[in-house]
Amino acid sequence: MTYSVKEIFFTLQGEGYHTARPAVFLRFAGCNLWTGLEADRATAICQFCDTDFVGTNGPGGGKFRSAESLAAAVAACWKDPPPDMLCLRQQIVRTAGPDEVHQPYVVCTGGEPLLQLDGPLIAALHAQGFEIAIETNGTLAAPPGIDWICVSPKAGAPLVQRSGNELKLVYPQPPFDPESFESLKFEHFFLQPMDGLNREANTAAAEEYCRHHPRWKVSLQTHKLLGIP
């Protein structure tokens, strides 16, 4: 299989349970809910995406003709987190243990990563010593072997992946009611305020909801607040 990759880069995870954890981001090209072209946004199933996943021209991006070559490219981006990065992490969240900080960690995202992430690539990334996370819209079933599954459901799209570690609902997202997801088999539930012109109002609404529904926590896009990739 040839893998189409928009970009590969080292940063801090910006969202959800692992906020501020050092990670390599492996962003696949392509999505099944939007072409990524602005001309098609108004007719897309997902109309609020804020990510460029079109093409293979980002840093570290390209066409990879084997799982091993892509895993090697991911491994080449990993580096032991420098002191300033660890200090930044400690300012944002709980202090991580040394095993978590130094365990190579890759976040497979997109677009929609499950269009391309398969068994051979999972095996190749594990062989490079990586813990593997995905951020998926949940419309496709995840193959076995992924270490951390984060599902972000989208209104108007089927939810096939109904279990995992983390459910992260962009909020508000009519007609979704967060309570309707609470019976699903996830360990953590997050509301992430929808970005855009109404970001402040959406953040206040998410905060208010979580105050009255303690199973949910607010997830902020801290990478945008900090100005990092």
Res. 26 pLDDT band, cuts 50 70 90 = very high
Report, as an integer, the average pLDDT of 190-202: 94
Catalytic sites, residue numbers: 25, 31, 46, 49-51, 135, 223
**What is the per-residue pLDDT across 91-149, written as a single tens digit (0 to 9) for each?**
555 555 555 666 899 999 999 999 999 999 999 999 999 999 999 999 999 999 999 99
Dig out the tokens for 205 from the structure: 């609404």
> Rounded to whole angstroms, how far apart are CA atoms 193 and 202?
5
Question: Which sign, positive or negative, has the C-alpha torsion 35, 36, 41, 46?
Answer: positive
Dig out the tokens for 135 from the structure: 């951020």
Question: Residue 213: what pLDDT?
Answer: 97
Domain ranges of the chain: 3-226
Given the candidates 1.50.10.10, 3.20.20.70, 3.40.50.720, 3.30.70.20, the CATH classification of the domain at 3-226 is 3.20.20.70
- Angle, vertex CA 139, rays to CA 138 and CA 141, nearest 5: 75
> Rounded to whole angstroms, how far apart are CA atoms 43 and 33?
10
**What is the per-residue pLDDT across 60-82, written as a single tens digit (0 to 9) for each?**
999 999 999 999 999 999 976 65
* Main-chain dihedrals φ then ψ at residue 133, nearest 5 degrees: -120, 150
Residue 109 per-residue DSSP state: E
* Main-chain dihedrals φ then ψ at residue 14, nearest 5 degrees: -95, -10
